[in-house]
Structure 1
Amino acid sequence: MSLLAITQGDPAGVGPEIVAKAFRDAPDDLRGSFVAGDVATLRRAAQAIARPGVPSLPVAQITTPAAALDAPPRCVPVLQLPGIPGPQPWGRVNAEAGRAAAHSVVWAARAALAGEVAGLVTAPLHKEALAAAGVDYPGHTELLQAEAAAHAGVPLAEMPVRMMLANDELRTVLVSIHVSLRAAIEAVTQTNVLQTLRITHAALSRSLGRRPRIAVAGLNPHAGEGGLFGREEVEHIAPAIAQARAEGIYADGPHPPDTVFMRARAGAFDVVVAMYHDQGLIPVKYLGVDKGVNVTLGLPLVRTSPDHGTAFDIAGQGLADADSLIEAVRMARKLSA
């Protein structure tokens, strides 16, 4: 069985709790997985989810990833990372929490790039805490991109990545990720849209075993109405689609963004390429954040994560739902097979 590393996430948020719940509630799915992080943080999380009448959840320190294969069901194997900060105050942004989260991600990414694990599943981190810790990247996707580029010895621009959010009903891939709306509009270029189509085609061809049917959303209302509501569709999006088709990619559009997601959900397409973050993520999250999985496309490693954040308002109360994390583990297992 292949090994999966699960990062602990921001220790001030719900990440450690949902990781503990996943090992408790889905032992078959979590077999062969381990946490890269801090033992004390996971033990505190196990206490946070404890309930009367429910057996306590053991947390075992392991010294090698392979030792996770010997862990009994409903036990959390944790590979203690040297130098990682321990438990942090619940529900508060702080630099030590951001440093702990980043440390866990970097270790897991390097292990995956070195072939020591088959993939990684990342629990939520907090972008403000990352910034407070002096991390130069705004989130998981950018941090992993930088690690992959450094490992390959290439400039960041030569390691293009894209975010895909998926559940059982809908997949969407984004042209831009964590940038301002103004910057996102500027990112709608023929080059970026074509690159997104190429990355989406390559990734889904592998996972689906066939050529994916890609719908492309417009940027403007009604996909621009032939240039009446904006020129991006005419000058950038449509030419990118034409070039993709010339390369054998099934790309269709640009479609009005207010209806294309419904058509994809009904089965007309396998995935929608969206022009910016909220355009693509709102439809998927509306269908239920408990089942959505974030997949990073374009990396030379498998990475998935739940599609929700750190939920500081309920951290430490044992209330957070682990379903999305469990789905992320299942997805990583499938992609790494």
Structure 2
Amino acid sequence: MTNNKAIIAIPMGDAAGIGPEIILKSLLNKGIYDICKPLVVGDLGILQKAKSIIGAELNLHEVNSPTEGKYEFGTVDVINLNNIDLQHFAYGQVSAQCGQGAFEYIKKSVELAMAGEVQALATTPINKESLKAAGVPFIGHTEILESLSGSDDPLTMFQVNGMRVFFLTRHLSLKDACDAITKDRVHDYLIRCDRALQRLGVEKRHIAVAGLNPHSGEHGLFGWEEVKEIEPGIKAAVKDGIDAVGPVPADSVFFQALNGKYDAVLSLYHDQGHIATKTVDFYRTISITNGLPFLRTSVDHGTAFDIAGKNIADSISMEECIKIAADYAPKFTAETNIENKIIL
């Protein structure tokens, strides 16, 4: 069974944040090693500091490639990029070297994934200000991964307790998000959601679209978006063979999905889906980026500079992130229409 386990690359994230700490705490869970082969891509000096802070009895094993890993409980295999100067390092501080380092851990992990040497990425928090200080021309993980992999418009999915939620719009004002809810967009996203689920190995793909207005508008009584845009978009997707229904009132659709009525929900705007998932379990809400040539899961919290280096951070989200990557990795299929090269 050991040889069948997926190798999960774990880029260390911003060294000044809680990433190194939650990685090591996660790898104190033997159950992680029972289901996958975790491989940390980071800075060995920072990981040694984190090991000392949490008081962990772990052997940090430096390797040059995934094939050299031991993947044994009690041993943390590390590809050491050695890019943090500890004399100029401080926890909880915006830092160009930490921003550059975080980018380099992601880049190396992507290279391994694109070469087929690892089967998935489970990413830790990075800091936008540190990226900017380093001159890294991206604002976050998704944009970095999109560029490095040559992908186009990756699709975000949240998962918590088996409930899957996609997002029609993300970082837009509520007013702009409402304007972006069009028939064509709903139609397109339902096709993309179905394809994403298929790539993750989900055989049943019954997708509900959340309503926008109270009671999904009550046939125009509380707004016309459902009648003019959302319902026609759903009907167009159904005509194309997608198993989609809705719009289902947003005050009930997520509860129904959590209880198995739907295999996924298409949320219409950022907070609609974020509130629904994080209220169920904030720490176990995991982000999955679809539309890449490889599988990527991520914790859905930040670098937590205020508690970094203090042995306070909880590793539950990181553990769940690795577990979900391990679960989906054997089922995941890469799309053939994405050119398999890294844009450096």
Q: CA deviation at 1:191?
A: 3.1
Return the offset for 1:208: 4.9
Letter matched to residue 110 of structure 1? E
State the 1:279 CA deviation: 1.1
**Could you say if the C-alpha distance between residues 231 and 133 of structure 1 is closer, same or farther in structure 2, counting changes exceeding 3 Å?**
farther
> How many residues get paired?
323
Equivalent position of 1:191 in the other structure: 184
Kept in 2: contact 1:290–1:324 (CA 8 A)? yes
Shift of the 229–93 alpha-carbon distance from structure 1 to 2, 3 Å rule, reads farther
Q: Aligned partners of 2:303, 2:35: CA distance in 1, in Å?
A: 21
Q: Which runs of 4+ in 1 moved over 4 A?
A: none
1:46 corresponds to which of 48, 51, 64 = 51
SS in 2 for 1:333: helix
* Sequence identity percentage: 39
What's the CA shift for 1:235?
3.0
CA contact (8 A) 2:12 2:41 kept: yes
2:23 is aligned, of 10, 19, 23, to 19
Range moving further from structure 2, 124-133 or 108-117: 124-133
- The reply to whether residue 335 of structure 1 matches residue 328 of structure 2 is yes
| Matches for 1:80-119 after TM superposition, within 5 Å | 80-81=80-81, 84-86=83-85, 88-119=89-120
In the other structure, the counterpart of 1:235 is: 228
1:153-172 alignment runs, 5 A limit: 159-172=152-165
Report deviation, 1:45.
1.3
Structure 2: give runs of 5+ residues left out of the alignment. 331-344
Distance 2:294 2:176 in 1: 28
- Native 8 Å contact 1:161 1:199 kept in 2: no
How far has the Cα of 1:289 moved from its partner? 2.4
Shift in alpha-carbon separation, 1:38–1:182, aligned structure 2, 3 A: farther
Distance of aligned partners of 1:224 and 1:29 in 2 relative to their CA distance in 1, 3 Å threshold: farther
Quote the offset at 1:29 in angstroms: 4.3
Tell me the CA shift for residue 71 of structure 1.
4.4
Kept in 2, the 8 Å contact 1:29–1:326? The answer is no
Return the offset for 1:114.
Answer: 2.2
Q: 1:37 and 1:190 mapped to 2: Cα distance?
A: 44
Which residue is 1:292 aligned to? 285
Pick which of 213-222 and 267-276 moved more. 213-222
Is 1:281 paired with 2:286?
A: no
Which 5+ residue runs of structure 1 have no aligned equivalent?
150-155
Q: SS at 2:251's partner residue?
A: coil
The residue type equivalent to 1:165 in the other structure is F
CA distance in 1: counterparts of 2:176 and 2:38, whole angstroms: 38
The alignment's C-alpha RMSD in Å is: 2.2
Does 2:128 align with 1:135?
no
Counterpart contact for 2:12–2:40, Cα < 8 Å: yes
3-state SS of paired residue (1:252): strand
The residue that corresponds to 1:35 in the other structure is 40
Name 1:322's counterpart in structure 2: 315
Q: TM-score, normalised by structure 1?
A: 0.88
| 181-190 vs 292-301, which moves further | 181-190
Which residue in 1 is equivalent to 2:334? Answer: none
User: Contact 1:85 / 1:99 at 8 angstroms: preserved in 2?
Assistant: no
Indicate how the Cα distance of structure 1 residues 177 and 94 shifts in structure 2: closer, same or farther if over 3 A, else same. farther
Q: Is the 8 Å Cα contact of residues 201 and 211 (structure 1) preserved in structure 2?
A: no
CA contact (8 A) 2:158 2:288 kept: yes
Amino acid at match of 2:79: L
1:254-265 map, 5 Å: 254-265=247-258
Q: Does 1:8 align with 2:9?
A: no
